[in-house]
Amino acid sequence: MTTKGGVLREVMLETGTTQSMLSRITGVRQPSISQFLSGKVELSDEQLDRLLSGMGYRLEVVRRPVRPELTRSERRSWMLHRRLSTHLSENSLESWMPKIEQNLTRLGGRLSGQTHLTNMERWRDLVATRDVLGLQRVMTGLDRSSIEMREVSPLTGLLPEVERLDVMDELSRAS
């Protein structure tokens, strides 16, 4: 996949546009253009579109869904948390607080490693501020941060057993 700096370089070569010429056309300083081209500074889509426009081009961004590669354990945790997230509301969070606090205390005494400790603090902050949207993002997120946070989740024991078994059955059928 071509980098944004690579796209810029390609169009500059095709149009015969120099860095100083592009700077004069777009108002973007030449040293900044140089840094974009070298990859020292990352271009935003908006910045790249602005620079391309000065050379008669537009940026087309193609978005497509991509299924992330998850280990079986990561997928199981995501599926369980995703199911639990369907029950999450301000009211349910309040009723879950005793169990969550108990889990936080239990987990906090057993954790080691900076990543786990940091993630536990993030859980504590989300719970203490009753951040339902933030909790939902961590429970359903497929970014590395959310996956790692679920490794030390204080939400264990909150999903009704019949639903937990349903998720486990779904996981085994998918394998």
For residues 74 and 132, is the Cβ–Cβ distance under 8 A? Answer: no
**What domain count does the chain have?**
2
Tell me the C-alpha distance between 49 and 46, whole Å.
Answer: 5
> pLDDT at residue 107 above 80?
yes
Domain that holds residue 46: 4-53
Same domain flag for 35 and 84? no
Residue 115: pLDDT band (50, 70, 90) is: confident
> pLDDT at residue 93 above 90?
yes
Task: List, for residues 142-166, the tens digit of each pLDDT value.
Answer: 999 999 999 999 999 999 999 999 9
Same domain flag for 133 and 95? yes
Residue 1: pLDDT band (50, 70, 90) is: low
Indicate which CATH number applies to the domain containing 40.
1.10.260
Task: List, for residues 31-75, the tens digit of each pLDDT value.
Answer: 999 999 999 999 999 999 999 999 999 999 888 898 899 999 999
Neighbours of 110 (CB within 10 A): 8
pTM: 0.68
For residues 138 and 126, is the Cβ–Cβ distance under 8 A? Answer: yes
Tell me the C-alpha distance between 130 and 133, whole Å.
Answer: 9
Same domain flag for 45 and 130? no
Same domain flag for 96 and 167? yes
Same domain flag for 43 and 94? no
Residue 38 makes CB contacts below 8 A (sequence gap 6+) with 5
pLDDT of residue 172: 92
Nearest one of 109, 100, 73, 75 to 159, comparing CA atoms: 100
For residues 140 and 85, is the Cβ–Cβ distance under 8 A? Answer: yes
Same domain flag for 81 and 133? yes
In order, the DSSP letters of 57-80 are: ---------------HHHHHHHHH
